[in-house]
Structure 1
Amino acid sequence: MIVTYNWLREFVDCDLPVAELSDLLTMLGLEVERVETVGAGMDDVVVAQVLEKNQHPNADKLSLCKVNNGAEILTIVCGAQNFKAGDKVALAQIGAVLPGEFKIKRSKIRGEESCGMLCSEKELGLAEESAGIMILSADLQLGMPVFSALGLKDTIFEIGLTPNRADCLSIIGIAREVAAKLGKKVKYPELRPVEGATAVTDITSVTIEAPELCPRYTARYVSGSKIGPSPQWMVNRLKAVGQRSINNVVDITNYVLMEYGHPLHAFDFKFLSKGKIVVRQAAEGEKFDTLDGQVRTLQSSDLTICDGDRAVALAGIMGGKNSEIADDTTDILIESAYFNPSAIRRTSKRLGLHTESSHRFERGTDVNILPIALDRAASLIVELAGGTLAKGVVDAYPQPVPERQVPVRVDRVNQVLGIKLSAADIKELFERLEFTVTKCDQGIMEVTVPSYRVDIEREIDLVEEVARLHGFENIPVTMPQARIFSETKSSYLTSAKTVKDLLVCQGLSEVINYSFFAPDAYDKILLAGDDYRRNTIQLLNPLSDEQSIMRTTLLPGLLETAARNASFRILNQRIFEMRRIYLPRHADEMPEEPPFVAGLLTGLRSAEGWNQAKTEVDFYDVKGILENIFAALDVSGYSFEVREPEPFYHPGKSAFIICNGDVIGSLGELHPTVQEAYGLEKPLFYFELNFEKLVECRREDHSVSAPSRFPDTYRDIALLVDDDVSAEAVVNCARKVKAAEIAQIEIFDLYKGSNIPAGQKSIAIRVRYSSKEKTLTDEEVNPVHQQVIQMLQQKLNASIR
């Protein structure tokens, strides 16, 4: 929001220095981001009068002038031709510095001395273009600085407002804040619209078909106006706050917008079919040509202002070309309405159309200021454009908004702020803000909030108002008192930290990706059309199509990260992510959000070095990482099983992780098509674990037993089995022999090649026999070992090598 000091002082008596006013606004929560003094350092540009204008003796297109600056007569060489002797002009004297760091010096131009420069509006920074030098009013005093003489010397404050302070998107709104802080009254503009005899209701009408989107719509009618340029004072004011002058009527609506903070719109009445206004929702796919020359495609959720046949404005955002004010406009219908903030925000964002009007309506305007802003605009139109104002106001207001009353406890105010104010002190602060205290009983105040303060909803909001107005600098500094206590970490948090630490220790780096991504990610990882992970939660208001759905797997995010790293030639990657995925439930239920941990490995197993072998990571690196996790969490009873693979894995190079009969994760090499979709060169190995299920698999019984004091006995068995028999199946089969002497069974060799029949492989297992009571003899071990061999032969059709 841009505010000028001179405009502000029209509404509040304030003579604070610029620096103090800037600090005051900032301490009120209205942060001043920029201060600019218009005309600063330009006092050497003064009002002067041309006494003589003669032809330059040595140049056809130059004039040699005698100019009086009120103190002396100067010779000036000038190239402009739009002035004559007797005109008062802007003279930049020797030493003046014009915009662009252009310094005026004594010089000779074609042999004649020039002691200054006659300036145009462009050279003074007052206009984008100018045809000649600036001709001033004849009644201005000679020698007076031009910016002071024209009333252009001013200070501009650019204020950064938080979205909740919609009431401060106006000069009067800022003036209210300053007045409240200084304990003064706001001087509101006098509203004295002079009305004609014809009633406005005989000329036009307003029908609201969507009252939930437009609770109130008011209008006034002016006939016989003349469209033309605005007076210079209005042009200067609008330019100072960043508005471009268009014509007197449109400028007035913008002037009132900046003054009161409420958007208005003016229609050329002759273009309104049947002379009426209908507020309705657009038809689906309806086309509308806005003032910026763009044809917009509307949706049924968009609100439009229509005449008897068609849309003439996009409510709260922009008018239409089919009813705009033109040079031949004489009859004007002025609109002042209130629109639902959410509806305006949705339409503005969807169409990418952000205007001064939508900016204010999106944040919430004052529903009770409509007739006031309307009367102010109508009065100015009659004053500056002429015409006759119809009698009365069309005010469609089917369900008036009740006053808001918010209770606040005096003790609560003092407790939150750490101060000691009486009820009378707090009441006085509220009244300075134009709040009304209707009742104060037993330390509880009932505060009626003005309709323009749309941000005040709860008691704590009123506490903040007391803090702002009392002054943050007046709140004493105290150290907070806090109770320190310790809480035992949950099993989930402890496990999460253990797993993260373990993965980092194994060389993996944690990444954090967005929780949402593009729908085509599922095509890239080859998910089938009926895969449950394609049933996603759609974002209602996504930043882009690439971030429009909530993730149901961590894989696409990790692949995007790997691809981005690879684009920087980081080819050896070991990354992991521990985050939640989002699985939809029924329409009225919150989604399921199970936590997952997933990792991705590619490239060399270890960093390159003179004594390091250049071996690539493989399936067993990933499997080893997972086994270390299971060991750290004391998970037992898990197994790796080959089943129908996930679609994103390479066929025959993946496995599921089973624990307590439930699938808790998977691992494997990613499919080459997935690798190609992300532009990655080397094979990728991936794992994922449902962390919630993993924690549930932790052993509750953590009892341990002492190792045997007696030596162990080992027996090896080399078997020939079919290719489709997994190593795990061999171990599980051997474990079916229930004998106390068997302490451990593990595989130590796998061989396929010469001397092995086609379709078979050799697997060697080692069985460790042990007893805590004695040293086992061959006579005790051999029968048990023979049972193991027989079990393998019978169940797996294995043969002993």
Structure 2
Amino acid sequence: MKVTYNWLKEFVDFDQSPEQLADLLTMLGLEVEGMENYGAGMDQVVVAVVEEKRQHPNADKLSVCRVNNGREIVDVVCGAQNFKAGDIVALAQIGAVLPGDFKIKRSKIRGEESCGMLCSEKELGLAEESAGIMILPPTLVPGTPVFESLGLKDTFFEIGLTPNRADCLSVIGVAREIAAKIGTSVKCNRIAVPEHGPSINSSITVSVEDSELCPRYAARAVHGCRIAPSPEWLVNRLAAVGVRSINNVVDVTNLVMMELGQPLHAFDCDQLVDSRIVVRRALEGEIFTTLDSQQRVLVASDLVICDAGGPVALAGIMGGENSEINDSTTSILLESAWFKPAAIRTTSKRLGLHTESSHRFERGTDIDGVIRALDRAAALVAELAGGTVAQGFIDVYPVKSVPPAISFRPERANALLGIKLSSKVMIDILRGLECSVTEMTDGILMVTPPSYRIDIEREIDLVEEIARLNGYDNIPASMPIARVISDRPSLHQRLESMLRNILVAHGMNEIINFSFTTPDAADKLLMSDVDPRRSVIKLANPLVEEQSVMRTSLIPGLLEAVAKNISHRSLDLRLFEMRRVYINRQNEEMPHEPIYLVGAFTGAREREGWGNSRDSIDFYDAKGVVENLLEELHISNVKWVVDTPETFYHPGKSCSIMVGKERLGTIGEIHPTVQKNFGLEKPVFCFELYFEKLVVLHRLKAAIVVPSRFPDSTRDLAMLASDCLSAEKILETVKGIKAQEIEHAEIFDVYKGAGIPTGFKSIAIRIRYRSYDRTLTDDEINIIHSRITENLVSKLKVSIR
């Protein structure tokens, strides 16, 4: 937002210098990002009178002038021809420095001495182009600085506003802040509109079909106008805040917008079909040409201003070519309205059309300031463009907006800000902001903010106002108070850290994926239609379609990471992830969010190098990592039940990890179809563990088993068994004897080949016997060993070799 020092002075009386005012505004939260002193250092450019003008004796296109600067008469050589003797001009005296660092010196031009320069608007930085020297009003006093005499000496402020401070997108808004800070009031003179024409209702009709997007629409009519260039003061004022002059009527609407913060629009009444205004939503696919000569395709959410024939303006953004003010315009309709910010913002963003008007409507204007801005514009148009203002105005305002009262606790404000202000001081601050304050019996204040402060909605907003107006620098410095507590990690945190360390020690790398995934993740994993993981939680505003739902499994993200690494020639992978998934629960607001631990293995077992084999990772590599992990957690009695626990595993190459009847997780080779779905050409082995079950079953400390001091004895047993007989079943049968003397049993050899019938395999087990109270004799061991042999033969139908 751009404002000027002199313009602010018209609305509020203050004594601060421009530098002091910049500091004041910055401390109020209106950061002054830049300052420019207009006319500073130009005091050597003074008002002067041309006493005599004669032809240069040695140049046809030059003149020699005798110029009175108020103190003396000096000779000046000039090449312009647009002036005569007696004119008041701008004289840059010797020593003056003009824009562009051009210094005026005494010189001789074609033999004639020149003691200065007669200046044009361009040379003084007042215009981009000029046809000759600047002719000043005859009332100016010779010898006074030109910028001071014309009222152009000013300071410009560039203020950086936060989006919530829409009220300060105007001169009066900034003036209100200054007035509230220094304890004075804003000068708001009564606006007198010279209404001499017929009633506006006799020439214009207005109807609002969508009061939700346009709660208030007001209009005035001015007939018999004359469109012409704006007076110099108006052109200069708009230029000071970066607005280009167009004509007297359009310039008035821009001036009022910058002055009061209310965007206006002027329509050519003669171009409005049936002299009618209709505020409605656009028709889907409706075509409209805006003032920039661009055709816009509208949608049903856009708000448009129409006449009886169709759209004549995009509400709050830009007018149309079909109702533009031009040199032949004689009757105008002035529009002042309040539009719903979200609607203007949506249309502006969709069309890529951002204007000064939309910038204000998007952030919210003052709904109670609609008529004041309309009256101000009508009065100025009547003054600058002539014409007659129609009697009365149209104001479609069916439901009056009333700002709600906010409960405010002074003691709460003091506690939050660390200050000690009395209720009276706070009341004075709030009333200085033009808030209505009612003090209740219990000390609570009921505060109603003014209509232009749409950013004040809650008690904390009022606390911020107290801090701003009292002064941030008046908040005392204090050391923070904090309790020193022992931040001991929880059991879950300790176990998570432990699992990560175990897997990293096994050469695995942790990955972290987004919690969002693609909607077809379940399809890629071949999940059944009744799988609860198909019921996903959809994001309300996803960034991309590939991340539009919350994940219900970590496996898709893991496989995508494997595929991406392989595409970058990282072929030997051991990856894991431990994060939450989000399972939708019927009739419940929040999802179930369990933690899962998953891992993936692919590529070679060892890195390439001298002496290393390049054998591929297989199922048993993955199984070995999980076995070691469970051993580190001291989880015993683990069984590996061969089945197909998940649809994304290869049938016959996967199993469930069981502890008793509790399934701790799954492990297996990924199904070939699933591999293809994720763009994987090589086998991938994965495991999935349920973290909460690990928490329940783990023991941080292993049970201490006192070793026997007596010697052990081992027996080997070879048998011929069916291919379908699992090792787990054999070991269970051995342990089923329940003899205390059996210390350990393991399979140490499996053979298939010559001498072994088809469909069978040779399995050898080694059994270690030991007692805790004596040395076992051969006879005692033989008895137990015989029982084991009989059990294997009778229950498993094996043949002892």
Question: 1:468 matched to which residue of 2?
Answer: 468
Comparing 102-111 with 463-472, which one deviates more in the overlay?
Answer: 102-111
Q: Residue 405 of structure 2 aligns to a residue in which SS?
A: strand
> Is the contact between residue 742 and residue 769 of structure 1 (CA under 8 Å) also seen in structure 2?
yes
2:150 matches 1:161: no
Question: Deviation digits for residues 370-417 of structure 1, max 9, x if unmatched?
Answer: 222222222233333333322222222222223421222232233333
Check 1:231–1:480 CA distance in 2 against 1; reply closer, same or farther (3 A cut): same
Question: 1:459 matched to which residue of 2?
Answer: 459
Distance 2:787 2:241 in 1: 95
Question: 2:183 matched to which residue of 1?
Answer: 183
Q: Structure 2: which amino acid aligns with 1:130?
A: E
Question: 2:478 matched to which residue of 1?
Answer: 478
2:418 matches 1:424: no
Check 1:277–1:104 CA distance in 2 against 1; reply closer, same or farther (3 A cut): same
Check 1:645–1:195 CA distance in 2 against 1; reply closer, same or farther (3 A cut): farther
2:33 matches 1:28: no
Q: Residue 278 of structure 2 aligns to a residue in which SS?
A: strand
Question: 1:395 matched to which residue of 2?
Answer: 395
For these two proteins, the number of residue pairs brought into alignment is: 795
Comparing 519-528 with 238-247, which one deviates more in the overlay?
Answer: 519-528
Distance 1:397 1:5 in 2: 36
> Is the contact between residue 660 and residue 697 of structure 1 (CA under 8 Å) also seen in structure 2?
no
Distance 1:434 1:388 in 2: 35
**How far did residue 306 of structure 1 move?**
3.5
Check 1:130–1:705 CA distance in 2 against 1; reply closer, same or farther (3 A cut): same
Check 1:38–1:611 CA distance in 2 against 1; reply closer, same or farther (3 A cut): farther
> Is the contact between residue 291 and residue 318 of structure 2 (CA under 8 Å) also seen in structure 1?
yes
Check 1:760–1:404 CA distance in 2 against 1; reply closer, same or farther (3 A cut): same
Distance 2:153 2:545 in 1: 49
Question: 2:129 matched to which residue of 1?
Answer: 130
Q: Structure 2: which amino acid aligns with 1:2?
A: K
Question: 1:220 matched to which residue of 2?
Answer: 220
Comparing 380-389 with 392-401, which one deviates more in the overlay?
Answer: 380-389
Comparing 558-567 with 771-780, which one deviates more in the overlay?
Answer: 558-567
Check 1:706–1:427 CA distance in 2 against 1; reply closer, same or farther (3 A cut): same
Q: Residue 330 of structure 1 aligns to a residue in which SS?
A: coil
2:464 matches 1:494: no
Distance 1:791 1:72 in 2: 134
Comparing 439-448 with 769-778, which one deviates more in the overlay?
Answer: 769-778
Comparing 671-680 with 457-466, which one deviates more in the overlay?
Answer: 671-680
**How far did residue 435 of structure 1 move?**
1.2
Q: Residue 368 of structure 2 aligns to a residue in which SS?
A: coil
> Which structure 2 residues correspond to residues 652-731 of structure 1 after superposition, within 5 A?
657=657, 665-666=665-666, 687-698=687-698, 705-716=705-716
Distance 1:461 1:712 in 2: 81
> Is the contact between residue 53 and residue 84 of structure 1 (CA under 8 Å) also seen in structure 2?
no
Distance 2:318 2:760 in 1: 79
**How far did residue 74 of structure 1 move?**
7.2
> Is the contact between residue 366 and residue 451 of structure 2 (CA under 8 Å) also seen in structure 1?
yes
Question: 1:254 matched to which residue of 2?
Answer: 254
Check 1:644–1:309 CA distance in 2 against 1; reply closer, same or farther (3 A cut): farther
> Is the contact between residue 336 and residue 371 of structure 1 (CA under 8 Å) also seen in structure 2?
yes
Distance 1:90 1:563 in 2: 78
**How far did residue 474 of structure 1 move?**
1.6
> Is the contact between residue 7 and residue 171 of structure 1 (CA under 8 Å) also seen in structure 2?
yes
> Which structure 2 residues correspond to residues 243-392 of structure 1 after superposition, within 5 A?
243-392=243-392
**How far did residue 327 of structure 1 move?**
4.2
Q: Structure 2: which amino acid aligns with 1:16?
A: Q
Q: Residue 218 of structure 1 aligns to a residue in which SS?
A: strand
Q: Structure 2: which amino acid aligns with 1:417?
A: L
> Is the contact between residue 92 and residue 104 of structure 2 (CA under 8 Å) also seen in structure 1?
no
Question: Deviation digits for residues 582-624 of structure 1, max 9, x if unmatched?
Answer: 4445588344443344456667777788887777766555544
Check 1:479–1:141 CA distance in 2 against 1; reply closer, same or farther (3 A cut): same
Comparing 177-186 with 677-686, which one deviates more in the overlay?
Answer: 677-686
Distance 1:52 1:560 in 2: 87
Q: Residue 399 of structure 1 aligns to a residue in which SS?
A: coil
Check 1:279–1:575 CA distance in 2 against 1; reply closer, same or farther (3 A cut): farther
**How far did residue 172 of structure 1 move?**
1.7
**How far did residue 536 of structure 1 move?**
4.1
Q: Structure 1: which amino acid aligns with 2:330?
A: T
Check 1:642–1:15 CA distance in 2 against 1; reply closer, same or farther (3 A cut): farther
Q: Residue 695 of structure 1 aligns to a residue in which SS?
A: helix
> Is the contact between residue 77 and residue 112 of structure 1 (CA under 8 Å) also seen in structure 2?
no
Check 1:726–1:443 CA distance in 2 against 1; reply closer, same or farther (3 A cut): same
Q: Residue 198 of structure 1 aligns to a residue in which SS?
A: strand
Structure 1's unaligned 5+ residue stretches are none
Distance 1:97 1:567 in 2: 65
2:195 matches 1:195: yes
Distance 2:524 2:66 in 1: 79
> Is the contact between residue 643 and residue 652 of structure 2 (CA under 8 Å) also seen in structure 1?
no
Q: Residue 381 of structure 1 aligns to a residue in which SS?
A: helix
Distance 2:267 2:590 in 1: 47
Q: Structure 2: which amino acid aligns with 1:191?
A: I
> Is the contact between residue 749 and residue 765 of structure 2 (CA under 8 Å) also seen in structure 1?
yes
**How far did residue 573 of structure 1 move?**
6.3
**How far did residue 110 of structure 1 move?**
11
Comparing 390-399 with 274-283, which one deviates more in the overlay?
Answer: 274-283
Q: Structure 1: which amino acid aligns with 2:255?
A: Y
Question: Deviation digits for residues 312-347 of structure 1, max 9, x if unmatched?
Answer: 444344444444444444333333222333444444
Check 1:515–1:65 CA distance in 2 against 1; reply closer, same or farther (3 A cut): farther
> Is the contact between residue 89 and residue 133 of structure 1 (CA under 8 Å) also seen in structure 2?
no
Q: Structure 1: which amino acid aligns with 2:449?
A: V
Question: 1:413 matched to which residue of 2?
Answer: 413
Question: Deviation digits for residues 160-185 of structure 1, max 9, x if unmatched?
Answer: 33333232232222221121111121
Who wins on radius of gyration, i.e. which is larger? 2
| TM-score of the superposed pair, with normalisation by structure 2 | 0.81
State the Cα RMSD in Å: 4.9
**How far did residue 4 of structure 1 move?**
2.9
Distance 1:90 1:796 in 2: 120
Check 1:626–1:160 CA distance in 2 against 1; reply closer, same or farther (3 A cut): farther
Q: Structure 1: which amino acid aligns with 2:331?
A: D
Distance 1:615 1:110 in 2: 98
**How far did residue 752 of structure 1 move?**
6.6
Check 1:417–1:703 CA distance in 2 against 1; reply closer, same or farther (3 A cut): same
> Which structure 2 residues correspond to residues 530-541 of structure 1 after superposition, within 5 A?
536-541=536-541
2:438 matches 1:434: no
| TM-score of the superposed pair, with normalisation by structure 1 | 0.81
Q: Structure 1: which amino acid aligns with 2:418?
A: G
Structure 2's unaligned 5+ residue stretches are none
2:171 matches 1:171: yes
Q: Structure 1: which amino acid aligns with 2:129?
A: S
**How far did residue 47 of structure 1 move?**
6.9
**How far did residue 710 of structure 1 move?**
4.0
Comparing 221-230 with 486-495, which one deviates more in the overlay?
Answer: 486-495
**How far did residue 468 of structure 1 move?**
1.6
> Is the contact between residue 268 and residue 331 of structure 2 (CA under 8 Å) also seen in structure 1?
yes
> Which structure 2 residues correspond to residues 623-634 of structure 1 after superposition, within 5 A?
623-634=623-634
**How far did residue 32 of structure 1 move?**
3.1
Distance 1:48 1:673 in 2: 93
Question: 2:204 matched to which residue of 1?
Answer: 204
Q: Structure 1: which amino acid aligns with 2:177?
A: E
